[in-house]
Amino acid sequence: MPKGNHVGYNAWVPVTADPITSKILIVDDDESVTQTFASMLRLEGYQVRTAVTAENGLRVADESRPDAIILDLRMPLVDGLGFLRRLRAKNDQRTTPVAIVTGDYFIEDEISSELRQLGAELRFKPMWLEDLVGLARNLLGATH
């Protein structure tokens, strides 16, 4: 049996991230999503910052240097892909683990391909507690 914590059906997540010291940034234009995700992750012991615009998210990322970012794809003005392009242009944030979480199941191949090239995982809403915690652990496992 794999070493790790069971977080749902057949998903095993390695125990590598320390929630007490891990910082996660959540960027989503739907404030109820950012608050729900933040509450769920805080209950697991993570330090969480939130932003409801890509611009604000980039500012928070510069200030707080998160260990991982969970990002919505479809946002007004600057979308998740635009956020990711700008994030990756910064030398100190080229390798920050990022997951794009979206409710849009119809993503163009070009966008999906670019997200992968920029190193982002793609996940779909809705996300249950086990899904979100597993995602956080997977992202953080890439840096810890």
Residue range 62-117, pLDDT digits in tens: 999 999 999 999 988 889 999 999 999 988 888 999 999 998 888 888 988 989 99
Q: At residue 3, does pLDDT exceed 50? A: no
In whole angstroms, how far apart are CA 105 and each of 73, 74, 92, 128?
11, 11, 31, 17
Domain presence at residue 104? yes
Domain presence at residue 7? no
CB 98 within 8 A of CB 71: yes
Number of domains in the chain: 1
Domain presence at residue 6? no
CATH assignment of the domain containing 29: 3.40.50.2300
Domain presence at residue 112? yes
Domain presence at residue 12? no
Q: What is this structure's pTM?
A: 0.83
Domain presence at residue 62? yes
Weakest mean pLDDT among 8-12, 53-57, 81-85:
8-12
Domain containing residue 102? 18-138
Domain presence at residue 110? yes
